[in-house]
A and B are shown apart, each in its own frame.
Chain A
Amino acid sequence: MWRLLILSALSGLILADQPQSSTLSGQLFGALIDPRLAANALRIVGLERKLTSLKAKLHEAEKIDPHGFIDEIEARVSAVEGTHCDDGTFQCGGNEQECVSDLFVCDGHKDCHNGHDEDKDVCDPAPVKAGNVFSGTSHWKDCRIHEDHVTHITITGTKRRKFFQSRIWVKAHVESNFKEDGDETHGFDAKGYFNFAQRRLVLVPIEDDDHHLGVVCDFNHGDNERADCHRVLEVTRHICADLFVTLEHHEPHEHK
């Protein structure tokens, strides 16, 4: 619609610029089109250009989200502060500081006095939706000798028992891209769980004959898209590699 308007205005403008046009229609247009209208058309062209640049700015604005930024700082500071709660317990937060067992978080029964253990944002299962792919670079500092390489964690299936809701049981595929013995990708299937209280995803290899290492991810960046992960030895939980992952987006981000 815009383009049509501008096009017709432009054509009018061009025709109006040629008063000596020999054709009859040209003379007709020249006489009919007001110079002020032509100036308006120019202004419209300018406006459209501004709109395009505004669109680009909007895309830029999306990247720096003040809300998300504050959430992240908050998450990081509270990680440094600590929760004042013992391991395996959940901090109810708010004005009343209270600790409840993580077995009760998101089980459908309010255990915190302020009900925070059943809050919607606490119990959001979004981090471990089946189909989510998290990617990042693994940096090994122990246990294995590898150059830094890319690792993808794909959530392949989830189960949440109606009678025991405080965990989501997760199946996943973990794939790493590095060269060894000619093979470039090394993958394994894993199973584990997501713990709402700690926002922690734990994955352990199924049928571990290849001696793959487990993955522990903490969604501690204040959103559901980024996590600090570690490759660990299952028994001792000794950390062998660091891995920061981000959720891969399903659709390409650029606007067409």
Chain B
Amino acid sequence: MKILLVLLAVVGVALAKECDSLTRLKVKAQWRRAYSHGHDREDFAQAIWRAIFAQAPSARDLFKRVHGEDTTSPQFEAHALRVLAGFDIAISTLDQPEAFKAELEHLQHQHEGRKIPDNYFEAFKTALLHVLPAQLKRCWDRAAWDSCFDLIADGIKGHH
């Protein structure tokens, strides 16, 4: 049992990846494949938001203004695409520290005062980490996404 625990700890350490510069490039490249274009992008966004609301149904209340009750409404579709566009900027600037910082500050300012609990960010992360491999189909690095997503989410939340 002890050996198993130690083994798990070792595996855990081995898996915990930092969002270093190479990892950022990897995430950036994989995002480019997943984010795609046209209809595919709308569907990708739709799938992510369905997965978020399935985990945290109460989060819909925050999106009343953009018709969060129906994720297929044009208003919500537009919102979902706007969110991904913001996320796209953050990912695209992962390798340009100054621009990255500026984008995160901008996003943090946008989210300020909305009283978003941390578990909603977790729901977003879990949703993304499941829809991404489905969209990418192959060649994706969960650990890389895990660490770089946290970096972005922490930047938006303004705390860890």
Contact = CB atoms under 8 A, between A and B. Distances in A.
B156 to A, nearest CB: 21
B131 interface: yes
Nearest to B44: A103
A209 B23 CA distance: 21
Contacts of A237: 138
Interface in B121-149: 126-127, 130-131, 133-135, 137-139
A234 B136 CA distance: 12
Contact of A103 (B54, B55, B135, B139): B135
B54 A193 contact: no
A109 B40 contact: no
Q: Chain B contact residues (Cβ within 8 angstroms of A): what range? A: 20 to 34
Contacts of A101: 39-40, 43-44, 46-47
A134 interface: no
A161 B130 contact: yes
- Where chain B touches its partner, the secondary structure class is helix
Nearest to A165: B54
A232 to B, nearest CB: 9
14 contacts: A88-B40, A101-B39, A101-B40, A103-B43, A103-B44, A103-B47, A104-B43, A107-B47, A163-B50, A163-B51, A163-B55, A164-B54, A166-B47, A202-B137
Interface of A: 88, 100-101, 103-104, 107, 109, 161-164, 166-167, 193, 195, 202, 204, 214, 234-235, 237
Interface of B: 39-40, 43-44, 46-47, 50-52, 54-55, 126-127, 130-131, 133-135, 137-139
